[in-house]
C-alpha cells in the first residue's frame, strides 16, 4: 500500500458527533441531481450539462471504482447525525504521496450551518492519521463559499495561479491554500467584515461594497501620482478592484467601506483601513479614502474619515478595531487630501523628497502622516 493511502475497498465512516461521512448509496441519486442543478453548484463546479439520474449513477460508479483502486480518490457522502440518510453533499480526498488534494460540494439544504467545515476537518484529521503531511485546496478565484470553508479550517491562502483551472468558458484563475499536519484547524487570520456605520448629521452610510455599485462609478480625473492606478475607483476596472478588496478582507489585511449617500444609498467613494504586513489584529493601520468626482467638495471624504477613525480606535470589546495608531500617505500637492487629514487631527511626521516624478520632469514630495488614539 502506498504510504499515507487509505486501504482499498475499506469504507471508512467518519463522524464528529454532528456530521457523518459515509458511503454513497443509490438513495442519494435524487439529491445529487438536485445539488448538481443548483445555480451555485453549476457556477463553480465543472459538471455535465444537463445533469440527470444517469449522470448521478455514473458519478456513483466512478466513486465505487476509485475505492477499488489502491491509489484512487476517496469520496464520502455528507449527512448530519441527527438526520441519517439525508444526503447533504460530497467531499473527496485525492492522495498524491504524502500530500492530498480535497474537493467538496454541498446540497443547498446543507449550506450555512457549518456542515462542510465539519466534514473538511474530519477528512483532514483522517488523512493526517494515516501519515499524510499536507492537504491542498483549490477553487476558482471568487468562489467565496469554498474559501470560507477552507479558511474556517485553518488553511493558509497561498495565492492565485493565473489560468490554472478550466470551466465552460476556458481557463480561469485559481486560489490555492494548504493545511499542514501540525496546523490548528481553526482560522489563522481574521476575516474582516465592514460594519454598517451611519451618520444622520453627515447624511452618509459606510457599508459593505456590492457588485451593483459598479453602476455609480465614474472615470478617473485626478493626477496619476495622487493614487496608484490599481486602487482607483473606475467603472471599467471595478470588478477586479472589488475582487482584490474582498480578497484582502478575507485575509484580514483590509477593511473597505463604500461611502454611500444615506438617503439614496448610492456609492460615493471608499474609505479603508489596511496593513501591508500582518493583519488588522495589529495595533497600527493605514488610512485611505477617495470619492467619485461628482461627490467632491461636499465634505464626504472628511466625514467618512471621521467615522472610520472612530471605528479604528474604538475598543475591540465595543466592536471597534482597538488600534493605537493610524498612518497615511499623500502627495504634497494633493491639497484636498491633505486638508482631510489635517481636519481629522493627523500630523505630518515625515517627508520623502521627489517620491514621484511629474510629467513636467519635476519631483514631487510625499508626506507621511500619523494619528495616535
Q: Is residue 64 a contact partner of residue 58, using CB atoms and an 8 Å limit? A: no
Q: Give the per-residue pLDDT at 10.
A: 60
Distance (Å, rounded) from C-alpha 223 to C-alpha 336? 13
Distance (Å, rounded) from C-alpha 293 to C-alpha 297? 9
Q: Give the per-residue pLDDT at 169.
A: 75
Distance (Å, rounded) from C-alpha 256 to C-alpha 207? 9
Q: What is the DSSP letter of 282?
A: S
Distance (Å, rounded) from C-alpha 325 to C-alpha 205? 24
For the chain, residues with pLDDT lower than 70 are 1-10
Q: Give the per-residue pLDDT at 194.
A: 97
> What Cα–Cα distance (Å) separates residue 354 from each residue in 223, 357, 362?
16, 7, 8
- The length of the chain is 373
Q: Give the per-residue pLDDT at 222.
A: 83
Closest CA to 258 of 274, 248, 247, 245: 245
Distance (Å, rounded) from C-alpha 79 to C-alpha 95? 23
E strand or H helix that includes residue 331: strand 325-331
pTM over 0.75: yes
Amino acid at each position: 500500500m502506498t504510504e499515507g493511502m487509505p486501504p482499498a475497498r475499506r469504507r471508512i465512516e467518519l463522524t464528529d458527533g454532528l456530521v457523518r461521512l459515509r458511503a454513497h448509496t443509490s438513495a442519494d441519486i435524487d439529491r445529487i441531481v438536485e445539488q448538481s442543478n443548483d445555480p451555485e453548484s453549476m457556477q463553480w463546479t465543472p459538471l455535465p450539462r444537463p445533469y440527470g439520474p444517469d449522470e448521478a449513477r455514473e458519478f456513483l460508479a466512478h466513486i465505487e471504482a476509485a475505492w477499488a483502486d489502491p491509489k484512487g480518490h476517496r469520496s464520502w457522502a455528507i449527512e448530519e447525525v441527527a438526520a441519517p440518510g439525508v444526503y447533504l453533499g460530497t467531499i473527496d480526498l485525492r492522495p498524491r504521496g504524502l500530500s492530498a488534494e480535497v474537493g467538496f460540494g454541498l446540497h443547498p439544504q446543507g449550506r450555512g450551518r457549518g456542515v462542510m467545515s465539519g466534514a473538511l476537518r474530519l477528512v483532514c484529521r483522517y488523512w493526517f492519521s494515516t501519515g499524510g503531511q499536507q492537504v491542498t485546496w483549490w477553487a476558482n478565484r471568487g468562489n467565496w463559499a469554498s474559501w470560507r470553508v477552507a479558511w474556517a479550517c485553518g488553511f493558509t491562502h497561498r495565492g492565485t495561479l493565473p489560468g490554472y483551472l478550466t470551466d465552460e468558458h476556458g481557463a480561469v484563475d485559481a486560489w490555492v491554500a494548504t493545511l499542514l499536519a501540525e496546523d490548528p484547524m481553526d482560522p489563522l487570520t481574521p476575516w474582516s467584515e465592514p460594519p454598517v456605520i451611519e451618520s444622520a448629521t453627515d447624511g452618509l452610510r459606510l457599508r459593505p461594497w456590492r457588485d451593483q455599485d459598479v453602476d455609480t462609478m465614474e472615470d478617473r480625473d485626478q493626477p496619476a501620482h495622487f493614487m496608484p492606478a490599481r486602487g482607483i475607483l473606475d467603472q471599467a476596472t471595478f470588478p477586479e478592484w472589488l475582487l482584490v478588496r474582498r480578497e484582502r478582507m478575507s485575509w484580514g489585511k483590509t477593511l473597505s467601506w463604500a461611502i454611500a449617500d444615506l438617503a439614496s444609498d448610492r456609492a460615493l467613494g471608499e474609505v479603508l483601513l489596511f496593513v501591508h504586513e500582518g493583519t488588522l489584529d495589529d495595533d497600527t493601520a493605514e488610512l485611505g479614502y477617495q470619492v467619485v468626482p461628482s461627490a467632491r467638495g461636499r465634505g464626504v471624504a472628511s466625514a467618512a474619515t471621521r467615522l472610520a477613525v472612530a471605528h479604528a480606535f474604538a475598543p475591540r470589546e465595543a466592536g471597534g478595531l482597538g488600534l493605537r495608531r493610524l498612518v497615511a500617505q499623500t502627495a504634497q500637492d494633493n491639497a484636498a487630501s491633505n486638508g482631510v487629514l489635517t481636519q481629522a487631527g493627523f500630523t505630518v511626521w515625515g517627508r520623502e523628497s521627489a517620491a514621484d516624478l511629474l510629467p513636467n520632469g519635476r519631483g514631487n514630495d510625499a508626506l507621511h502622516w500619523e494619528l495616535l488614539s
